[in-house]
A and B are shown apart, each in its own frame.
Chain A
Amino acid sequence: MSLKIVYLFLTLNLLFNTQLIAQSTRIIGLREHTPAVFAFVNASITAAPGEVTQNATLVIRDGFIEAIGRGVDIPADATVVDLEGKMIYPGFIDAYTHYGMQKPKENDSPHWNPHIRPHISSAEQFTPDAEKAEMLRKQGFVLAHSLPAHGLLSGSGSLISLGEGKARYQLIQSDLSQHMTFRISDQIDSHYPTSSMGAVALLRQSLLDAEWYDRAQSAYQEGHVGKRPETNLSLASLHEAVKSQQPFVVPVNDENWFLRAQAIGEEFSLPVWVRGSGYEYRRMEAIKKTGLPVILPLNFPDAPDVKSPETSINVSLEALRHWYFAPENPAAVISAGLQTAFTTHGDTDNFLENLRMAVSRGLDKEEALAAITTTPAEMLGITQHYGSLEPGKKACFIIATGDIFDNSTRIRQVWVDGTRYPVDENKKVPAGEWLVETPELLEGAIISIEGSNQRLRGDISLDEQSVRFSHVGFDGTRIQMRFTGDSLGIEGHVKLSAHLGQEELLGLGNFTADPFFTWSASRKAMPDLPEERTKRIPHLELTARYPSMEYGFADTPEQPQHVILRNATIWTQGPDGMLQEADMLVSDGQVAAVGHQLEAPRRALEIDATGMHITPGLIDPHIHTSIAGGVNETGDAITSETRITDVMHADNVWIYRLLAGGITSATLFHGSANPIGGQNAVIKPRWGMMGEALLIEDATPGLKFALGENVKRMETRYPGSRQGVEQIIKDAFEAALEYETQWQRWEEGRETMPPRRDLQLEAILEVLRGERSAHVHAYRQDEMLMMMRLAEAYGFTIGSFEHTLEGYKIADELRTHGASAVVWTDWSSFKVEAYDGILYNARLLEEAGVHTSLHSDNTQLATRMNWEAAKVMMTGVEETIALDMITTRPAQIMGIDHRTGSLEPGKDADFVLWNGHPMSTFTSAEQTWIEGRKYFDRQEDLRLREEVMQERTLIINAILDAQNNQN
Chain B
Amino acid sequence: MFYPQIYQALKQYNAFMLFLLLSMGGSMAMAQTPAPAQEGPIAITGGTIHTITNGVIEEGIMVFEDGIITGIGQDLSIPEDAEIIDATGKHVYPGFIQGQSTIGLMEIARIRESTDLQETGAINPNIRAQVAFHSASEHLPVAAVHGVTTVVPTPRGSLIAGMPAAMMTDGWTWEEMTLREGLGMIIEWPSMRDKDDYARQTALLEEAFEKARRYQRAREAAAEDPDLHHPPDVRWKAMKPVLEGEMPVFISVGEVRQVQAAIAWAKKENLQMVLAGRRDLDLVADQLATENIPVMLTGVISGPARNWEGYDEGYHIPRKLYEAGVDFMIAGDAGAASTYRIHHHAASAVAFGLPEEKALRAITIDAARILGIDDLVGSLETGKHATFMITDGNALEMWTKKEQVYIQGREIQMLDKHKRLYKHYKEKHRQVNP
Contacts and interface: CB of A to CB of B under 8 A. Distances in A.
Interface stretch (A309-317, A346-354, A379-387): A309-317
Of A549, A661, A831, A921, most B-chain CB atoms within 10 Å: A921
A139 B199 CA distance: 45
Contacts of A839: 418
A871 B338 CA distance: 12
Interface string A832-863: 10111011100110011000000000011001
Interface stretch (B152-160, B205-213, B224-232, B394-402): B394-402
A653 B321 CA distance: 26
A811 interface: yes
Contacts of A836: 417, 421
Contacts of B399: 870-871, 873-874, 879, 919-920
B425 A844 contact: yes
Interface stretch (A483-491, A524-532, A791-799, A822-830): A822-830
A860 B304 CA distance: 9
Contact of A867 (B111, B344, B401): B344
A945 B308 CA distance: 8
B374 interface: no
Given A920-B397, A921-B351, A811 B429 contact: yes
Interface stretch (B59-67, B102-110, B181-189): B102-110
Nearest to A827: B337
A874 B400 contact: yes
B214 interface: no
Contacts of A656: 311
A811 B432 CA distance: 10
B350 interface: yes
B17 A843 contact: no
B419 interface: yes
Contact of B428 (A310, A809, A831, A832): A809
A832 B337 contact: no
Contact of B419 (A834, A840, A870): A840
B276 interface: no
Contacts of B418: 838-840
A251 to B, nearest CB: 26
A864 interface: yes
A801 interface: no
A310 B421 contact: no
B257 A832 contact: no
Interface in A651-674: 653-654, 656-657, 660-661
B26 to A, nearest CB: 13
Contacts of B308: 316-317, 550, 948-949, 952
A848 B307 contact: no
A765 B394 CA distance: 52
B123 interface: no
Of A830, A836, A949, most B-chain CB atoms within 10 Å: A836
A843 B422 contact: yes
A657 B422 contact: no
B110 A921 contact: no
A809 B17 CA distance: 20
Contacts of B421: 808-809, 836, 838, 840
Contacts of A847: 426, 429
A229 B350 CA distance: 69
A490 B311 CA distance: 71
B350 A922 contact: yes
Of B18, B139, B308, B417, most A-chain CB atoms within 10 Å: B308
A318 interface: yes
B396 A828 contact: no
Nearest to A882: B399
Interface string B297-321: 0000111101110111000000000
A107 interface: no
A100 B237 CA distance: 68
Contact of A924 (B111, B306, B351): B351
Contact of A812 (B138, B302, B429): B429
A848 B336 contact: no
Contact of B417 (A549, A826, A838, A863): A838
Of B139, B283, B307, B350, most A-chain CB atoms within 10 Å: B307
B347 A922 contact: yes
A812 B433 CA distance: 9
Contact of A921 (B109, B255, B396): B396
Contact of A828 (B21, B306, B337): B337
A518 interface: no
B128 interface: no
B134 interface: no
A831 B114 CA distance: 11
Nearest to B398: A870
A949 B308 CA distance: 8
B426 to A, nearest CB: 6
B21 A832 contact: yes
A832 B422 contact: no
Given A657-B303, A828-B337, A945 B310 contact: yes
Contacts of B429: 811-812, 844, 847-848
Contacts of A864: 301, 348
Interface in A916-940: 919-924
Nearest to B424: A809
Nearest to A923: B351
A941 interface: yes
Contacts of B138: 829, 835
Given A829-B139, A832-B111, A921-B351, A313 B306 contact: yes
Interface in B346-397: 347-348, 350-352, 356, 396-397
Of B311, B344, B400, B432, most A-chain CB atoms within 10 Å: B311
Contacts of A945: 310
B410 interface: no
B341 interface: yes
Contacts of A829: 107-109, 138-139, 336-337
Contacts of A843: 422
Contact of B255 (A310, A317, A808, A811): A310
Contacts of B312: 660, 924
B307 A921 contact: no
Contacts of B302: 860
A921 B347 contact: yes
Contacts of B335: 830
A843 B423 CA distance: 11
Contacts of A870: 397-399
A661 B311 CA distance: 9
A939 to B, nearest CB: 13
Nearest to A919: B399
Contacts of A922: 347, 350-351, 356, 396-397
Contacts of A871: 341, 398-399
B20 to A, nearest CB: 8
A689 B14 CA distance: 45
Interface string A631-663: 000000000000000000000011011001100
Given A832-B110, A840-B418, A874-B401, A863 B311 contact: yes
A293 B80 CA distance: 94
Interface in B6-46: 14, 17-18, 20-21
17 contacts: A316-B306, A317-B307, A550-B307, A656-B311, A660-B312, A809-B421, A809-B425, A811-B429, A830-B109, A834-B108, A840-B421, A871-B399, A874-B398, A921-B350, A924-B352, A941-B311, A948-B308
Given A809-B425, A832-B21, A923-B351, 15 more contacts: A653-B307, A656-B311, A660-B311, A808-B421, A808-B422, A829-B107, A830-B110, A831-B111, A839-B418, A840-B419, A863-B311, A864-B301, A870-B398, A920-B351, A922-B350
Interface of A: 310, 313-314, 316-318, 549-550, 653-654, 656-657, 660-661, 808-809, 811-812, 826-832, 834-836, 838-840, 843-844, 847-848, 859-860, 863-864, 867, 870-871, 873-874, 876, 879, 919-924, 941, 945, 948-949, 952
Sorted nearest first, the 3 A-B pairs with minimum C-beta distance are A840-B422, A870-B398, A921-B347
